[in-house]
Structure formats: structure tokens, C-alpha cells
Amino acid sequence: MNLSHVSTDLRPVVEEITRRFQGRLESCVAPRANEVYFHARMDLVAGFCAHLYRKWNARLVTVFADDARAGDEVFHLYYVLALDAAHGFLSLRVPVSPEAPEFPSLANAFAGINWQEREVQDLFGLKLVGHPNPRRCTLHDDWPEVYPLRKDFDLKTVLPPFQGERHKFRKVEGEGVFQVPVGPVHAGIIEPGHFLFSVAGEPVLYLQLRLFYVHKGTEKRFESLPLPHCVRLAESISGDSSFAHATAFCHAVERAAGVQAPARARVLRSVCLELERLYNHIADIGAICTDVAFVTANMHAMRLKERILRVNEHLTGNRLLRGMACLGGVRFDWDASQLKALAELVTELRPEFDSLVAMIDGSSSTLDRLETTGVLKPEVARDLGVVGIAGRASGFDHDLRRDFPHAAYDQVKVKVPVYQVGDVKHRLQVRVDEVRESLSLIDQFAANLPEGPLRAEVGEVPADRVALGCVEGWRGEIFHWIRTAPGNRLARCKVKDPSLQNWPALSEAILGNIIPDFPVVNKSFNLSYSGTDR
């Protein structure tokens, strides 16, 4: 293979992998400098992933399937690994025969892919072998035997009324042990999720989660729309991450087309990503305070959030930044008055935010509820592959803005806050640090906003191209992987929201705490039901 166009940082890894597994790799393709695909048989998967993990400190970030029976007469499994230090992604593609639709689980070695492997089983009908808990995950127990992401499943299929047993939680027994259900319907305006606590007295012994109550079939829907229309669908994956998901999708399509957004568009995208981070982080800081009865702090936070949302609307016409992203760049430019409003926001927000943080730090009763509550130990976070805010509060020193620069992040130096304590207080502190860093980044971007066009012409993307788009959303890393189809459409779109990775960590963080602490522990993660259910 010619490695001349593989990035300098990634090339030694690819060369070493090629030598080590010589004769067992069928081919190696590098469609982009930091994105390399190896094709091999199933028996190489465990050794390949383990070697990259041990020698190159790689992370297994996602596992998914693709129905390629029409062309290759097989299903394909993809194992995508991130090499943060080398700023690149390596993907291993392996075939699964329709005559023997099964694959071995890696969940015992890589706990973070537990749910993702089960998604493949549910949505494609590929049986897991050796999984510690192969029960249904995405589809609930009373669903009929259908596999929605297979090509022969019609999106318009009307399923019969569901019959059969609903999900049975594991029983936890012992003297003085009680089980306390919470949900799936909640008092707040949130989507459904079922939490079953097992307690002995007050401390929580065990927490079981059941999500995917509103699975929307988003990945299937991508296959039925023209590429430009898919941007709006990407915006709907998780409402508070509308711009991040849309940008990740656009990034994937642009990479597949061999097109880069113009310089001005990349800067505007970066500013919008930081605005999305700002309003969500500040809202979370206030909500965490509400859950420990410090309502005054939440009122101040909501006032600051509203200030940001109004500027969002002034800049893009939408409070949640919807309609701004498009293939090849952005839809709207900003004139002098809009840039002035952005500058005034940053200037005015700094002292007011500092005042909010001082108010929280000065409340001993608030700190007493936050410190040592909901601890997620770094070793547990590492094993589960926890990312984003929760990961950085538990020793995860990674951020796609720094490690895989997208949009205009290659023009700035991003400071990544990392702590080892892993409690609610430090998940709040990561948000505080990131708000301050976002304000600094917006200042830098606005001061160096280049002139030029807003969009590059993407045109019709040729069929059977694959590409991985990534964005560091405010919750954590977001991935959109695509394979194109004829007619400027998609054959497959895999969406990876950070919440899918982080939900299992909630069961670990609540252990030993009491049920009244669950709301604040849960809010300190603030995971997306919609982003998980898709």
C-alpha cells in the first residue's frame, strides 16, 4: 500500500500494524490522511483491537454494522479506533456471512462497547457470541422479530400490536433489600427512561437502566432522503446538540466528497459550536444547583442562558442554532451589528458568570452536597470509555477540538480541563472551566474572522464512498459515519452520540449514595435520551 498521503503522525502506526499482521490483512485503504481502513477476517478482530490498545493506546470508539448484501453478499462490521496522540482513526472492517449471521463479543475486554454490540444484534439480526448480557437493548423485549436496519426492511412497515413479556429487571435479593422504580415516565418535560434502584436502608446497592423507549429509526431515515435534506434530520437527533450533530454530519459528507468548507465558514461553525457549549453548560450549572435546593443560583444561570439564546437567534434566526449548518459550510453570514452583539455578549457574560461561580463556591451547604457525591473513579471511567464532561472529571484527557481539530480549531490552542476526583463537584468544575475557555475561543475566532465565501459546492457525491465526521459537542465526542449510495443519497449513516457511551457510568457513580442524591448525580452527567434512542 502507498502510505505517502497518510499523515506523518499516523504513518508509523499503519506501517507497524501492516508488518505485524502481514498475511492476515486482506487490504488497507486510506481515503483520507487521518482515516485508514483495514479489511480482514473475523478471527483478527480481538487481536487487532487488543494490539492497538496496548501498544498505541488506542480507544475503541464505536462498533457498528452495514448491510452490504446487495453488492458484497455479506454484512460488514466496523470497529473504529481513535489514536488521539497520532490524531487519526483506524477502522477494521470484517465480513459476516448471511448464512451464519453471528459475531464474537469483545465486551468482556472492552466494556464500553456493551450496548453498541447489542444494537448490532437488535437492528441487524447478527447474533452475539460470548456477550456477558446479550439481552435486547435498542429494541424492547415485546418487539416482534424484525431487523429495522437491514435493507429488506421497509421504512413504511406497520408493525402489529406488540405482544409478549415486557422487560424483566434482574432481581436483587437479600435481607432488608428493596427495589425502588423511577420512571419510565418522569415528572419533568423529559423523555422516558426507567431506573430501578436496589437499596438496603438508604445506600444504593445496584442501579439498572432501561432506555430506548422512543427509538425513532433515525439511521434508517437517513437512507431515504437526498443528502442536502439529511442536514435537518441530523439537527433533530438531540435538540440541545442540534448544531454539533448537523456539523458532524456535514463534516462526514464533505470528507466523502473531497471538499473543505471555506475558511470563513469554518470559523463561523466554530463560534456556533462554542455558543452551543456555553448555553448548555451554564444551564447545567444552574440545574445542578436546583437539585441541591440552591434555586437562587439557578435563576442567575437561567438569566445568562437566556441572554445567549437571544444572541443565537440574532445570529442565526434560531435560538438553538438550527438552520445555520449546511453541506459545504454555513447558510448565513454575520454583519457588523451581529458581530458587535457577539462581542458584547462575551464582554458582559464574563463578570456575570464569575459572579455566579463565586455565589456557588461561597455556599458551604451547596458544596457539601456536591463534593464526594456520585464519584466515578478514573479506572472505571477508562474501562467504560466515558467521554466528554464526565470523562474529563474522571481523568480522561481527550478533546476532539485539540486531538482531531475540525472546523477552525486548528487555528487556536484549546485548553482541556482534566480532574481525577470524578464527583459531582468536579463535573460542575469542568463545565465552569469550559465556559471560560469558550468565551476565550469566541474572542479569538471573532478577532481573526477571514473574509470569503460561506459555502463550497459539494455537488453529487459518488456512490460507495465512506467517511467519518467528528465534532466535540458540549457533552462529548459525536461521530457520523456514512457510506454513500447512487443518486446523491446514503446507503448507511451511523450516528454515535456521547450519551450512548456514558449512560452505563451512571450505574457506577450512584453506588453507595442515597436515592435523594440521584437527581443531582444524574444532572451532573446530563445525558440525552434522544441522542441515545435515535
Cα dist. 489→104, 152, 482 in Å? 32, 17, 10
From CA 283, how far away is CA 498, in angstroms rounded?
A: 18
Task: Say whether pLDDT at 333 is over 80.
Answer: yes
Task: Say whether pLDDT at 268 is over 90.
Answer: yes
Residues 370 and 430 in one domain: yes
- Range 449-463 average pLDDT: 93
509 located within any domain: yes
Residues 352 and 481 in one domain: yes
pLDDT at position 320 is: 96
Residues 403 and 436 in one domain: yes
* pLDDT bucket at 2, cuts 50 / 70 / 90: low
518 backbone dihedrals φ, ψ, rounded to 5°: -60, -45
For residue range 401-420, what is the model confidence (pLDDT) as tens digits? 999 999 999 999 999 999 99
From CA 233, how far away is CA 241, in angstroms rounded?
A: 12
Residues 315 and 192 in one domain: no
Largest CA distance in the chain: 71
Comparing 155 with 93, the larger pLDDT belongs to: 93
Residues 189 and 236 in one domain: no
Q: Is the dihedral of CA 7, 9, 11, 17 positive or negative?
A: negative
349 and 307 Cβ atoms separated by less than 8 Å: yes
500 located within any domain: yes
* pLDDT bucket at 155, cuts 50 / 70 / 90: confident
- Range 96-116 average pLDDT: 93
467 located within any domain: yes
Three-state secondary-structure class, residue 17? helix
What's the CATH code of the domain at 70? 3.30.460.80
Identify the CA nearest to 383 among candidates 505, 204, 210.
Answer: 505
| Strand bridging mode 466-472 / 477-485 | antiparallel
Helix axes 518-525, 263-290, angle to 10 degrees: 180
pLDDT at position 13 is: 92
Residues 240 and 188 in one domain: no
44 located within any domain: yes
Residues 409 and 510 in one domain: yes
| pLDDT more than 90, % of the chain | 82
- Cell numbers linked to 78: 466496523
247 located within any domain: yes
Task: Say whether pLDDT at 399 is over 80.
Answer: yes
3-state secondary structure 504-516: HHHHHHCCCCEHH
Q: Total structural domains in the chain?
A: 3
Residues 202 and 257 in one domain: no
pLDDT at position 300 is: 96
Residues 358 and 393 in one domain: yes
Residues 194 and 257 in one domain: no
Residues 20 and 83 in one domain: yes
pLDDT at position 163 is: 77
Cα dist. 97→73, 100, 103, 150 in Å? 8, 5, 10, 14
What range defines the domain where residue 91 resides?
A: 11-129
Comparing 34 with 169, the larger pLDDT belongs to: 34
| pLDDT more than 70, % of the chain | 99
- Range 69-78 average pLDDT: 94
- Range 212-234 average pLDDT: 92
384 and 111 Cβ atoms separated by less than 8 Å: yes
281 located within any domain: yes
- Cell numbers linked to 401: 477540538
Measured torsion, CA atoms of residues 318, 321, 327, 329, in degrees rounded to the nearest 10: 100
Q: Which residues contact 329 (CB under 8 A, 6 or more apart)?
A: 261, 262, 265, 266, 268, 269, 453, 454, 455, 456
Task: Say whether pLDDT at 230 is over 70.
Answer: yes
User: Of the given ranges (148-162, 163-177, 289-303, 311-325), which has the lowest mean pLDDT?
Assistant: 163-177
Identify the CA nearest to 378 among candidates 398, 348, 355.
Answer: 398
pTM over 0.85: yes
30 and 36 Cβ atoms separated by less than 8 Å: yes
For residue range 183-221, what is the model confidence (pLDDT) as tens digits? 888 877 788 889 999 998 889 999 999 999 888 889 999
Determine the distance from the C-alpha atom of residue 301 to the mean position of all C-alpha atoms in its chain, rounded to a whole number. Answer: 25
6 located within any domain: no
Residues 366 and 412 in one domain: yes
Identify the CA nearest to 126 among candidates 69, 82, 211.
Answer: 69
